[in-house]
């Protein structure tokens, strides 16, 4: 059974998509921009944007009854591959025990001028 996951603890979708979709124990989390759901703002640095995107993902996981350790794969989009080391350091601090598989790609631009966007797949 397919269930839409939504929480006010993460930014609302800015288009025709869901924050997350749960299907047969697997959660597919849409790309999370580093938007603070309380203020609507974005932090300035790549490290802070990485942390904010990951906190948004954590909120969606929690809404689905999951946690960070349940993440099996992430995709990280960067607008500048020169920011990889800064992103990677912030990312590494988030995944201390169970590290998921990951893809990291550079893109020409991201919505709302973000420098980072992260999505994930999690399962129980």
How many domains, the chain?
Answer: 1
Q: Catalytic: which of 62, 104, 110, 121?
A: 104
The per-residue pLDDT for range 56-112, each reduced to its tens digit, is 999 999 999 999 999 999 999 999 999 999 999 999 999 988 899 999 999 999 999
Q: Supply the pLDDT for residue 54.
A: 98
Of residues 121 and 124, the one with the higher pLDDT is 121
Has 104 been annotated as catalytic?
yes
Q: Please give the C-alpha separations between residue 70 and each of 99, 113, 122, 124, in angstroms, as whole numbers.
A: 10, 30, 5, 6
The CATH number of residue 34's host domain is 3.30.1330.40
- pTM of the predicted structure, to 2 decimals: 0.97
**Region of residue 65 (left: phi > 0; alpha: psi -120 to 50; beta: else):** left
Q: Supply the pLDDT for residue 76.
A: 98
Domain that holds residue 23: 2-123
The per-residue pLDDT for range 33-49, each reduced to its tens digit, is 999 999 999 999 999 99
**pLDDT-derived band at 2, boundaries 50, 70, 90:** very high
3-state secondary structure at position 2: strand
Nearest to 98, CA basis, from 117, 62, 74, 64: 74
Q: Supply the pLDDT for residue 43.
A: 98
Q: How far is CA 65 from the centre of its chain?
A: 16
């Amino acid at each position: 059974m397919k269930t839409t996951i939504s929480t006010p603890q993460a930014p609302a979708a800015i288009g025709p998509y869901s924050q997350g979709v749960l299907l047969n124990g697997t959660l597919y989390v849409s790309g999370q921009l580093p938007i603070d759901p309380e203020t609507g703002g974005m932090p300035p640095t790549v490290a802070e944007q990485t942390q904010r995107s990951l906190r948004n993902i954590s909120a969606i996981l929690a809404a689905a009854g999951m946690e960070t350790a349940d993440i099996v794969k992430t995709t990280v989009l960067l607008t500048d591959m020169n920011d990889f080391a800064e992103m990677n350091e912030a990312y590494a601090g988030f995944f201390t025990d169970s590290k998921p598989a990951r893809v990291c790609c550079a893109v020409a631009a991201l919505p709302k001028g973000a420098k980072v966007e992260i999505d994930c797949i999690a399962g129980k």
